[in-house]
Structure 1
């Protein structure tokens, strides 16, 4: 009966450790490889019929970095 408790505690600790490690790994990956870059923003603006200035693109990139 004691071994069941060890297994359950081990699973809970393993789950918690896995969540923490995956969270930090994902944060560092997104910091190195943002999902949207300047070229994508230009294409998005063009698809909406707008030509975005460099200032607007810089503002949007700064806002996205702030949110990450």
Structure 2
């Protein structure tokens, strides 16, 4: 299982991006909310939606969950 995190700072379009541990675009640690271990980014995005209304996967480390 991979570890996933969501950026607590929103992007300019309002998205809070989900990242897999080790992503080269991982935000600063102080800006991360840990989502725990997941089999895929889809389940991590669902957990992030419990905190944020607008969530998207990182285009680099979670391209299958990147929608905008």
Q: Which has the higher helix share?
A: 1
TM-score, structure 2 normalization: 0.26
Structure that is richer in strand per residue: 2
The structure with the largest alpha-carbon Rg is 1
Bigger relative CO (Cα 8 Å, ≥ 6 apart): 2
